[in-house]
A and B are shown apart, each in its own frame.
Chain A
């Protein structure tokens, strides 16, 4: 996994990386730990269904399991990038699938055949997540204040109230990019995750967000900028040995 050729990493050789904490080596400090390319392995094991929408229209109950297996990593991953915990992400993904099933149950076959399934599923997951955020406002807000995107705020590291304890710090180091993404305002977070983490084309991102393509593009652009700012801020505020580990 180590990619010393990448321009995004500055690797110091002064200190040995702590491999017990970061099993994949130094690179994993930036990337979330977890098996990569699992999707491909899965697809190879299961024979593909040519057109899932048509199969669902013909036999919803018999095909729905397949839909869940095909999209569970995507919906869970999307939810996980949006919210703070695996538990929340699992609940969001679960609710999204169950909602999708109930909706499909009430749709006539033509409507199911005409669905853009992937965008539609992301859309449901996003709605479920938004509803949860609304209910758990405190959590949502605390994430935003903990992040370093708001330039009017004083530096979190200088504020004793906001200074994280050592354990939290360690955990954050392992996933700091993911954490910074989660700290973005939702209007940037969802499109960024959809476009770059989930790899959707811009048009599909716009469809998920129910926005004109132009608006989605502009949000993506502003999101990247916000992330760029918070990324460089988070690096400059870190003590040197942590940056270079």
Chain B
């Protein structure tokens, strides 16, 4: 690394790290600020970092041989910072009522965002791995953050143990890839694999399989999904939202980049296995969701189902599919956050999270009930909402890559999924509330909710601007295959 590095390119990450330290210090020395305002402060930091990353719109720069700063990175940085800021706002009330040590809580959220940013930016396996662990460690700790809650502790333990286990498998995969291709740079690996493949050793395929296993855990694909429902149920609700939106989006940002840049030449070797994973994931997620009685577990299985749809995009990987996948990822993150906002609000009001506890919500808080209905319909892929449009574009793109059968299966499960969302909706509108009083209106959360719901409609009705952003982003990872591979070989130390 003798070449001088442009440290400025990582300014958003430095800002986030500094802000995290700042939050901890504030919490230490100025307790009078209050737990709620601390959350808003953290949100401001995350939003500022997101704004800061807009400097590099349209640029294609590299941070040494470690990371890209281009439209792909920028898109995901903004998305992740946005998720982080939203979660901070949504946690404020929850933390105030139920948790100790708010400073570290918010700081860890910001650190998780740094990890996620790194995963999207990295074009090298070590950087990606460190970022992934940063994200994961933050999440383990946050999951177990409700110190004296047995379930939170158990969820954290399970998440952590299985996370470490999968990390080891993932690392072994990286090791084998490094050993057979001689590099950890995505582009160089892609270059080696697109050349003469006759002498590629079986160790290479073994490594690929182990990497799929490790990544499968991070994105919660069946059969690596089993921690998801438990972790979702045990974690404090805002952290459940963080896992479902941030961890999943970051996992796919990395998954997509790695497979598009490094492993695309071998697509015929792995696409059918990924397709199989996708089918299993969609089937299990959507079927088991029907049986759930707990809202968080329901959303856990529903998010597993969503991972299945996203895997369809990986199995039919091409530049168009990648754009569609990124669009679906954004739509999913926004919709899911909207759904979780409603659940957090309800939990703050009542401390309940079973589906049957939602009965009569429409009478007590009609706006929240309506928004939750919209979010759930969107997740079920009903037209007008983001879920339909993004899924449709994704399935269409997959069908175009000769994966019509897979798109058909995905469409089928998407139809099935409506059933369990309707159970929740019925509960809200048909059930009679035990008390009739209206809930108080927290304006800040309502504003966030309104913005998210507006996003759901925007993507559902007029996805073009977002899709264009996604296309600009994926154009960089598909172009880089030809342009960078030559330069990188020269530039390595």
The yes or no verdict on A and B being binding partners is: no
Chain B interface (Cβ within 8 Å of chain A)?
none
Binding site for B on A (CB under 8 A): none
